[in-house]
Amino acid sequence: MKINVYYGGRGLIDDPTIFVIDKLTEVLEELRVNVTRYNLYEQKNSGLTTLPGTLKEADGIILAASVEWLGIGGFLHQFLDACWLYGDKERIGKLYMLPVVVAGTVGERESMEELIRAWSLLGGVSIDGICAYAESKAELESVQDYVRYIEKTAENLYRYVNQKQKVLPNSVNNVRAATLHYSSIAASPQESEQLSAYVSDDHYVQQQKADIEELTSLFSGMLSGDDNDRQEYLRRFRENYKPQGQDFVISYAIEIKDLEKTLVVDIKGNNMNCYYGEKPDADIVATTNRSTMDRIVHGRTTFQGAFMSGEISTRGNFKMLRTFDNVFQFNII
């Protein structure tokens, strides 16, 4: 039999929680149980996300919390979060959990309930644990009745795990089974952290959205006879782009009525992105037709000239209207 202990305190010398788990370990080892203890504060830099993997080798676990001011503390929260994201839920469903909560302030009962509720949501089975108030370990070890209670609790855990005793159903398990649907992340903890870094990068996210919109317009147009024109416009814009410097920022949205598409051109410094999509907050919003657009991208007329002749209608910042012909100098073909 193997029991894992996950200690969520800070490892203080006089922490009464450490006395309790040491006494539990002593009794279990006398019963020839293999006990492994994980101090979560030693795993805080990178190991917490990988600890759920240690549950696979256990028959039961002890979750031990030291309540110093409010709740079970951050280390246990992070460990339980990792169990939800990366843990083997089928394996967790077979594990008995003994909660241990010792508080030096108020709130030991609430913290005990939090541990039990969290383990139930994960699908595991909780048994009666230890919930106490003590400012130092001497308050527990000096009273033999307290020591005997801890020893009896260890024996009870051994009996539950060894005999695989059934526990009565509770509402949390029923609600979880009926309404709470979860799926473990397929990526490893390290890959998930890398994805989180990408998601927090706004430039990366915006670029990905633009690429998706461009690919969407590409594949959706493949069944249409207008696709050649659409791709020709994108190609001509990219080939004839003239950067205006790092401080130049502008966006154009050109609605091509007979294509029923809007060509978006987004310029930030020397970077230009063009795609078919929507950008209602563009600096210049223009409306034209395919014939006029053909003549512009083939260098036969300018954007300003088409506007002056009434072939293009625009709204937005008219002071920036002339910038189009500076940014895109189309070769005549």
| Same domain, residue pair 158 and 219 | no
Q: Which tokens hold the place of 237?
A: 């814009």
From CA 205, how far away is CA 19, in angstroms rounded? Answer: 50
In the block, which residue shows the tokens 């788990």? 21
Q: Is the residue at 320 inside a domain?
A: yes
pLDDT reported for residue 165:
87
| Same domain, residue pair 67 and 132 | yes
CB 119 within 8 A of CB 62: no
| Same domain, residue pair 151 and 249 | no
| Same domain, residue pair 163 and 248 | no
From CA 113, how far away is CA 186, in angstroms rounded? Answer: 30
- Here the contacts of 315-322 (C-beta below 8 Å, separation 24 or greater) are 315/285, 316/282, 316/283, 316/284, 316/285, 317/283, 317/284, 320/250, 320/283, 320/284, 321/284
Q: Give the DSSP per-residue string, 258-283.
A: GGTEEEEEEEETTEEEEEES--TT-S
- CATH number assigned to the domain comprising residue 20: 3.40.50.360
From CA 50, how far away is CA 135, in angstroms rounded? Answer: 32
| Same domain, residue pair 136 and 38 | yes
Q: Is the residue at 192 inside a domain?
A: no
Q: Is the residue at 252 inside a domain?
A: yes
Total number of domains constituting the chain: 2
- CATH number assigned to the domain comprising residue 268: 3.30.1050.10
Q: Could you tell me the residue range of the domain that residue 84 belongs to?
A: 2-179
pLDDT reported for residue 308:
85
Q: Which tokens hold the place of 19?
A: 């006395």
| Same domain, residue pair 84 and 160 | yes
* Predicted structure pTM score: 0.56
Each of the 333 residues of the chain gets a pLDDT tens digit; together they read 999 999 999 999 899 999 999 999 999 999 999 999 999 999 876 678 889 999 999 999 999 999 998 899 999 999 999 999 989 988 999 999 999 999 998 899 999 999 999 999 999 999 999 999 999 999 999 999 999 999 999 999 999 999 988 888 766 555 555 555 555 555 555 555 555 555 455 666 666 666 676 666 555 554 445 667 788 899 999 999 999 888 899 999 999 998 889 999 999 988 999 999 998 889 999 999 999 999 999 999 999 888 888 899 988 877 788 889 999 998 887
Half-sphere exposure of 182 (CA within 13 A, CB side): 17
Q: Is the residue at 196 inside a domain?
A: no
From CA 65, how far away is CA 94, in angstroms rounded? Answer: 22
| Same domain, residue pair 167 and 117 | yes
| Same domain, residue pair 273 and 131 | no
pLDDT reported for residue 81:
93
Domain end among 179, 194, 218: 179
| Same domain, residue pair 285 and 167 | no
